[in-house]
């Protein structure tokens, strides 16, 4: 029995890594950025990622704090209404402000510290 060459093993490993990356992307496992810095607000996703003005969007992440009185959400720099009853350290519910359709940067600001940006698409009204 012959052993595979180093080049054959390297090619097989590269093919396996490419297949794993394709599967991860196909399953929606695409990361939105670097892992959170301890104690800094971090947003991992907006659900849904596209919505018209006035729709509610759930933000998921970490280190958002438990006190919505020291928090705000900004979409394209415009304050978005938050629901204090649906706010926790790992998620927040906000309402899409009146903006023209397009894809805009969204951040959470917690006690003066700004999170990483996510991108939310504002759709035309239904």
pLDDT digits (tens, 9 = 90+) for 41-99: 999 999 999 999 999 999 999 999 999 999 999 999 999 999 999 999 999 999 999 99
Radius of gyration of the chain (CA): 20
pTM above 0.85, yes or no: no
Residue with tokens 């729709």: 55
For residues 25 and 3, membership in a common domain is answered with: yes
Question: Considering its fold, how many domains does the chain have in total?
Answer: 2
What is the sign, positive or negative, of the torsion defined by CA atoms of 56, 59, 60, 63? negative
In a shared domain, residues 68 and 101: yes
Cα torsion 80, 81, 83, 87: sign: positive
Q: Is the pLDDT of residue 34 over 70?
A: no
**With contact defined as beta carbons under 8 Å apart, do 91 and 63 qualify?**
no
Within this chain, do residues 16 and 53 fall inside the same structural domain, yes or no?
Answer: no
């Amino acid at each position: 029995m012959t052993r595979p060459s180093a080049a054959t093993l390297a090619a097989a490993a590269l093919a396996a890594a490419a297949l794993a990356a394709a599967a991860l992307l196909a399953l929606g496992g695409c990361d939105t950025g670097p892992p959170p810095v301890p104690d800094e607000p971090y947003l991992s996703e907006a659900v849904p990622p596209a919505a018209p003005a006035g729709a509610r969007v759930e933000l998921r992440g970490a280190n958002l704090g438990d006190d919505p009185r020291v928090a705000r959400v900004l979409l394209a720099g415009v304050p978005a209404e938050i629901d204090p009853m649906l706010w926790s350290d790992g998620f927040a519910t906000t309402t899409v402000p009146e903006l023209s359709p397009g894809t805009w940067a969204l951040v959470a600001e917690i006690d003066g510290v700004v999170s990483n940006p996510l991108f939310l698409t504002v759709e035309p009204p239904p």
